[in-house]
């Protein structure tokens, strides 16, 4: 069977000039030296520098000493929306989960995200403007709440993050000593806090 005209040959190699070719000049005939291997071989006595993220003094092994009642809970946009859908009172349900007084915090980014969602989420906006919710001002550009929450939690270990967003949960799990509050069934559940009522059994 004849091969189609446009089809390339199997295992076709790139044509290269041999080092013994007469067209090459004397300086080009020398084989190129492999500089990468030289760089890889380092002297035994040489000290290598490694960048390590600074560990906060709030952590005692895996236990965060800054966490304690009254708990400071940083709320994400979808946490409010899902709480409305399941018909849960946010502050009361948080207290039922943690058995202590809770102070919910909302950043300017989260507020901006709820405002952008429009009239359909006006109930969420009314809840977010509740005077019991503390407002945290944001100094960065844009209104992307996930980056803001991750940055804030990395700097200050005193917060519990309340979110139902899978991607944000994965990012926060990489930060040591930060518990995550989320909705499971018709109640709030919390990760990394075994003393809490809704904590999953390990």
Asked if residue 156 belongs to a domain, the reply is yes
Q: Average pLDDT for residues 9-30, to the nearest whole number?
A: 71
Asked if residue 176 belongs to a domain, the reply is yes
User: What is the domain count for the chain?
Assistant: 1
CA 35 → CA 32, 39, 93, 164, distances in Å? 9, 6, 63, 50
C-alpha to C-alpha distance for 52 and 54, rounded to whole angstroms:
6
Q: Please provide the average confidence, as pLDDT, over all residues in the chain.
A: 82
Asked if residue 149 belongs to a domain, the reply is yes
The pLDDT confidence band at residue 58, using thresholds 50, 70 and 90, is: confident
pLDDT tens per residue, range 153-194: 998 889 999 999 999 999 999 988 899 999 988 899 998 776
- By C-alpha distance, which of 181, 163, 175, 173 is closest to 102? 181
pLDDT tens per residue, range 125-160: 999 999 999 999 988 887 788 999 999 999 888 999
Q: Give strand pairing partners of 135.
A: 106
The domain that contains 184 carries what CATH number? Answer: 3.40.50.1010
Asked if residue 98 belongs to a domain, the reply is yes
pLDDT of 10 > 90? The answer is no
Place of tokens 């919390």: 190
pLDDT for the residue numbered 5: 67
């Amino acid at each position: 069977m004849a091969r189609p005209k446009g089809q390339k040959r199997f295992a076709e190699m790139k044509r290269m000039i041999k080092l013994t070719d007469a067209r090459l000049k004397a300086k080009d005939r020398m084989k190129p030296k492999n500089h990468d291997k030289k760089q890889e071989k380092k002297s035994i006595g040489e000290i290598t520098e490694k960048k390590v993220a600074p560990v906060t003094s709030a952590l005692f092994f895996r236990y965060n000493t800054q966490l304690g009642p009254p708990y400071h809970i940083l709320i994400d946009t979808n946490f409010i929306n899902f709480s409305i859908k399941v018909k849960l009172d946010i502050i009361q349900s948080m207290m039922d989960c943690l058995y202590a007084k809770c102070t919910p915090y909302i950043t300017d980014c989260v507020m901006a995200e709820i405002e952008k969602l429009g009239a359909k989420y006006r109930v969420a906006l009314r809840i977010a403007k509740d005077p019991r919710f503390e407002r945290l001002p944001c100094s960065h550009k844009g209104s992307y709440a996930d980056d803001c929450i991750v940055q804030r939690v990395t700097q200050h270990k005193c917060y519990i993050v309340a979110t139902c967003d899978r991607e944000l949960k994965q990012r926060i799990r990489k930060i040591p000593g930060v518990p995550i509050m989320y909705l499971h069934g018709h109640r709030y559940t919390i990760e990394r806090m075994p003393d809490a009522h809704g904590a999953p059994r390990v």
